[in-house]
Amino acid sequence: MPLRDLLIRIAAIYDATALASKDVPGQALLRSVKEREDLPLPPGFTADGHGGQGFASGTPWIGVYDPAINTEPHDGLYLAYIFSADLSAVTLTLQQGVTSLKKSIPRRSELRRELQTRAQRLRAALPPASMLNWSHQPVFGSGDWRPRSYEAGSVIARRYEIAKLPTEEMLAADLLEASKFLRDVTVAQRIHLQMPDAADPRVEYLPEEHSASDALDGFCPKDSSDYYVHIQGGKRRRTRRHEALIADFGYHSVTCGYTPIVAGMHPRDLVLRRGDGSVQRSWLVEGKTVKNGNTTNAVRQAVAQLFEYSHFWHEKRGELKPYLIALFTEGIGHYAEYLEDHGIGSVWRSGDGWGGSPRAASWGLVNNDSM
């Protein structure tokens, strides 16, 4: 039974009012998924079906896993075909495991917020142009905590109406594309899991303690949660938008083929490297938060620090002069051209992705139509 026929058959016979027993036809069909060899899974992937435990789930689903990443839905990242409660549609979604996370975040509203935050961060690691057909936000039509968590935890998704399912070939192509997203997002999740909690002690490492063989070595971004400073008249909260900017761009740079390095680079914000580790030029990144729309001040600070760090931390140490990147929390308008004239590429947040100047595009860090 091909994937298309399997999805149609599940929607036709599944009974959410029955027990989750192997004697129930819909449940038996879901359990058979694990043994099937006729599904168009990407090479090396596995699949299994889920219809609940004890009582039937209101939203049956099929999990699809890359064993090199994850083999269980309780934790980590995986793909899933999740049916709506009325069985009129099924959504292919890149999901985060919720069961293990629920143990540390038992309140359901807080769990959903955390899943949404993580999904947004992971989504930012994917090139916006590749996600044009994957921007669906799932709504499964169930009030149960688990389907609602699936809605919140979806990183990318594509919905299919059962009555209008595409061909088997199109479903297979979509699944293969989703498997590539899964692998890219897994890199971003690995970085996210290295970020310390606010209460954790900070540990600094010497540069020579890090291997250059892994794209994530040396990239330990600072925590981006709110923090407090004491000033005259009381305590004030400050948001670490700067740290979040550096962390998110670090995720993005990995998907563009770079190795982001923070550890041992202070006072520099971020250094990117690319290649086999031989003598090469680096990309020096200075991040700036645009406060109250004041792009002028942010640009001035970025220019000054980029030239200073390039001179003292690279050229004076006998290294090749680095490529320079000014990174901003929002667009900087005509200052992008100004920075280009001074040999500095610029990148800025643009919706869920990144915009940038022609120089940044030539380095493969943004799309050519970002301006």
174 and 41 in a common domain: yes
Residue with tokens 């998907």: 255
Q: Which two tokens stand for residue 286?
A: 């200075």
| Domains of the chain: total | 2
252 shares a domain with 308: yes
- Asked if residue 197 is part of any domain, the answer here is no
| Any domain includes 370 | no
Q: Can you give the residue range of the structural domain that contains 241?
A: 202-362
Residue 173 located in a structural domain: yes
Tokens of 255: 């998907």
324 in any annotated domain: yes
Average pLDDT over residues 135-160: 94
**Domain CATH code at residue 12:** 3.30.920.90
pLDDT 10s digits, 298-307: 999 999 999 9
Query: Is the per-residue pLDDT at 193 higher than 60?
Result: no
More confident residue, 61 or 206: 61
The answer on pLDDT for 10 being more than 70 is yes
Q: Are 135 and 11 in the same domain? A: yes
In a domain, 330, yes or no: yes
pLDDT tens for 198-217 read: 444 433 333 333 333 445 44
For residue range 279-298, what is the model confidence (pLDDT) as tens digits?
A: 578 999 999 999 888 899 99
**Residue 40: pLDDT over 80:** yes
* Residue 368 pLDDT class (50, 70, 90 cuts): low
Bridge partners (DSSP) of residue 159 are: 91
Domain annotation covers residue 371? no
CA dihedral for 5, 11, 15, 16, sign (positive or negative): positive
* Average of per-residue pLDDT across 114-118: 92
What is the model's pTM? Answer: 0.58
Q: Is 330 exposed, middle or buried (0-12, 13-18, 19+ CB in 10 A)?
A: middle
- Most confident region among 13-17, 66-70, 210-214, 230-234 by mean pLDDT: 13-17
